[in-house]
Amino acid sequence: MNSESELLNLALNGDRRSLAKILTRIESGFEPTVSVQNPWTLGVTGPPGAGKSTLIGALISKWLKRGEKIAVLAVDPSSPKSGGALLADRIRMQGTESSDSIYIRSIASRNHPGGLSLFIGHMINVLSASGWSRIIIETVGSGQSQTRIVAFADRILLVEGPDRGDIIQAEKAGILELADIVTVNKSDLPNSKLAYNSLNSSLSLNQNNSISTHLVSALNGDGIDDLFSSIEKCPKSTQREIIRQKERLLSLWDSRLLNYHGLNQLLEQLSTGSITLDEAVDMIQ
Amino acid sequence: MRVVIAKPGLDGHDRGAKVITRVLRDGGHEVIYTGIRKTPEQIVSILIDEDADALGLSSLSGAHEVLIPKICEKMRTAGLSDVIVFAGGIIPEKDHVSLYDSGVRAIFGPGTHSETIIDFLIEISQRKKRGEPTGVGEEIGWHWD
Ligand SMILES: Nc1nc2c(ncn2[C@@H]2O[C@H](COP(=O)(O)OP(=O)(O)OP(=O)(O)O)[C@@H](O)[C@H]2O)c(=O)[nH]1
Ligand SMILES: [Mg+2]
C-alpha cells in the first residue's frame, strides 16, 4: 500500500489510479495539502429523475470539443438502514468511459456526521490541482445535507422536470435562491413549457434576481447550446465564498456536536427534563 | 465494499444485473451499476476511476467464454490484481474450471439465494484480512462453492 503523500504526488502528475485512491482516502478522513489556483466548479442539483446526469452527459460533449478536462463527482444517498448505496448516475453519461479527458466518480453520501461537506472541498482541490479544468458536482436536491454539498460549487445549476410542483418545492427549500441558472429539462414532453412559464413568473416576483432560465431537452439536444453558453458566461460569485464558508462551518459544528462524547447522556437528561436545552448547549461548549 | 456491476457483451437484458445490484445494496455495499454493452476496456477504466474493490459480471449469452477471461487479463495488465471478480448468469458447469483459472472467485447460477452472494463478500473480506489470495491477479486456487 502506497503512502498518502506518494499517492498524492502520482495523482498530481496525472495518474488516474492514484487519483481514485486519494479520493477514497479523503472519504475516510485524509486531508491533503495541495496548492490550487481557482478551481472551476459547477454544482448540478434538482429532484430525482429530473435528468441531471443526462444533462451533464450532454454538457460534457460540449466541453470535450473545447479541449477541457471534465471531472464529475456524482453523489447519491446511502441507505440509512443498510448503509449500502446504488450509484447509477454514470449510466446516463453516455460514451464517457472512452476518453482520457473525462473522470467520473460516484460517491455515496454515507452517514458522515456533518455530511460530505468536509470532504468535498478537498476532493475539488485535488482534482483541480491534477489538471481537471471543469469540476461538476451532482447531488439530488432534497434535504439540507445535499444542499450543503452543492453550496461548495462556484456556480449552481438547478435542473427541474416538467412538474411544476417540484419548482414550488425548490422555492420553499431555498434552493432557488442558491441557483445561478435554472433549467426546465425534458422540453420534448408536454407540460414542460407550462413549468417553464411558472418558473419565470415565480422568479419575476423576486426583486434582486439575476438568475437565467432555460428550457432544454437533454435527450434531443434542444436548448443545450444556449444553456452551455450561460454556464460558461456565469461568473464566479463573490457572495458564494461567504455561503461556502458558512456551510463548512455548519458542517464542522454538526460533526463536533455529533461526535461529542457525552451526547447520549445529554440526550437522556434532556428527555427526562433534568436539564434545559440552554444548559445542554452550555455543557457542550 | 465498492462493487462495480457490469454486463459485457451485446445482448440488452440486464434484469439479472439489476437484481444483484439491489441485493448488494441491501447488504450494505456501495454498488456502481454501469449499464449494458460495455467493452472490456470500458469496464477496466470504470474500475480504476471508481477505485472499486470488486467486479461482478453478469453473463447470459456466452459472453463468459471470451469476454470474462479477457476482462480478467486486462485488469491484471492495468495493475488491478487485488480486485475481486465474480460472475453470475447462465454459465454451463463445464466452463467453470476455466473461469476459475482465469481469476474468477465465484460463479452464481440462476436461483442463487441473495444471502449466498452477501456471504461470499463477507468471506472475501475475512480472507483479505488474513492476507489470503482473493484478487484476480493473486494466486489461483481458492474459489467459493
Ligand atoms: N423525455 C426526456 N427524458 C429525459 C430527458 N433527460 C433525461 N431523461 C430521462 O429521465 C430519466 C432520469 O434521467 P437521469 O439523467 O438519470 O436523471 P437524474 O436527475 O440524474 O436522476 P437521479 O440522479 O436519480 O436523481 C431517464 O430515464 C432519462 O432517460 C429529456 O430531456 N427528455
Ligand atoms: Mg443522476
Which range has the worst mean pLDDT, A50-54, A112-116, B44-48?
Answer: A112-116
Q: What is the pLDDT of residue A206?
A: 66
Average pLDDT over every residue of B31-36: 88
User: Is residue A62 packed enough to be buried (19+ CB in 10 Å), middle (13-18) or exposed (0-12)?
Assistant: middle
Question: Rounded CA gap, A45 and A71, in Å?
Answer: 16
More confident residue, A28 or B9: A28
With a 6 A CB cut-off, is A49 part of the ligand 1 pocket? yes
First vs last Cα of chain B: how many Å apart? Answer: 21
Question: Rounded CA gap, A271 and A188, in Å?
Answer: 53
On whether the CB atoms of residues A108 and A76 are closer than 8 A, the answer is yes
Set of chain A residues whose Cβ sits within 8 Å of the Cβ of B49? 16, 20, 103-105
What does the block give as the cell for A126? 485535488
Is B26 in Cβ contact with A84 (below 8 Å)?
yes
Short-list A135, A126, A153, CA closest to A16: A126
On whether the CB atoms of residues A157 and A42 are closer than 8 A, the answer is yes
Nearest-CA residue for ligand 1 atom 7 is: A51
For chain B, which residues make up each domain, given as ranges? 2-129
Q: What is the pLDDT of residue A255?
A: 77
Any bridge partners for residue A171, and if so which?
none
Share of chain A above pLDDT 70, in %: 91
Average pLDDT over every residue of A219-237: 93
Chain-centroid distance of CA A13 in Å reads 26
More confident residue, A55 or A36: A55
More confident residue, A241 or A207: A241
Q: Is the pLDDT of residue A1 over 90?
A: no
Short-list A48, A247, A42, A41, CA closest to A140: A48
With a 6 A CB cut-off, is A147 part of the ligand 1 pocket? no
Which range has the worst mean pLDDT, A172-176, A191-195, B68-72, B97-101?
Answer: A172-176
Pairing mode, strands A70-76 and A134-140: parallel
Query: Model confidence over A94-132: pLDDT tens digits?
Result: 766 668 999 999 999 887 666 677 788 899 999 999 999
Using pLDDT thresholds of 50, 70 and 90, give the confidence band for residue A208.
low
State which of A56, A87, A91, A92 you would mutate to test the pocket of ligand 1, scoring each by most atoms of that ligand within 8 A of its C-beta.
A92
Short-list A135, A100, A115, A113, CA closest to A16: A100
Helix (H) or strand (E) holding B35: strand B30-38
Share of chain B above pLDDT 70, in %: 96
Q: What is the pLDDT of residue A196?
A: 92
More confident residue, A42 or A174: A42
Residue in A with minimal Cα distance to B34 = A91
What pTM value is reported for the model?
Answer: 0.91
User: Ligand 2 centre from A131 Cα, in Å?
Assistant: 24
Question: Rounded CA gap, B13 and B20, in Å?
Answer: 13
With a 6 A CB cut-off, is A185 part of the ligand 1 pocket? yes
Mutate: best of A87, A103, A127, A130, partner B, most B CBs <10 A: A87
Q: What ipTM goes with this model?
A: 0.92
3 state SS of B133: coil
Average pLDDT over every residue of A22-34: 92
For chain A, which residues make up each domain, given as ranges? 1-33, 35-237, 242-285
Is 3.10.50.40 the CATH classification of the domain at A35-237? Answer: no
Mutate: best of A17, A23, A86, partner B, most B CBs <10 A: A86
What does the block give as the cell for A124? 475539488
Short-list A152, A156, A163, CA closest to A177: A156
Helices (H), A138-234: 144-150, 164-172, 175-178, 192-205, 224-233
Query: Model confidence over B77-130: pLDDT tens digits?
Result: 999 999 999 998 888 888 899 999 999 999 998 888 889 999 999 999 999 999
Question: Rounded CA gap, B122 and B26, in Å?
Answer: 14
DSSP-assigned letters across all residues of A91-148: GGSTTGGG-TTEEEEEEE-TT-TT-THHHHHHHHHHHHHTT-SEEEEEEES-SHHHHH
Closest ligand 1 atom, CA of A48? 25
Using pLDDT thresholds of 50, 70 and 90, give the confidence band for residue A62.
very high
Q: Is the pLDDT of residue A207 over 70?
A: no
What would be the CATH architecture of the domain defined by B2-129? 3-Layer(aba) Sandwich (3.40)
Q: Is the pLDDT of residue A171 over 70?
A: yes
Query: Model confidence over A256-277: pLDDT tens digits?
Result: 888 888 888 999 999 999 999 9
Q: Is the pLDDT of residue B17 over 90?
A: no
DSSP-assigned letters across all residues of A214-229: EE--TTT-TTHHHHHH
Query: Model confidence over A188-203: pLDDT tens digits?
Result: 999 899 999 988 888 8
Strand residue runs (E) in A58-99: 70-76, 85-87
Q: Is the pLDDT of residue A245 over 80?
A: no
Q: Share the mean pLDDT of chain A.
A: 87
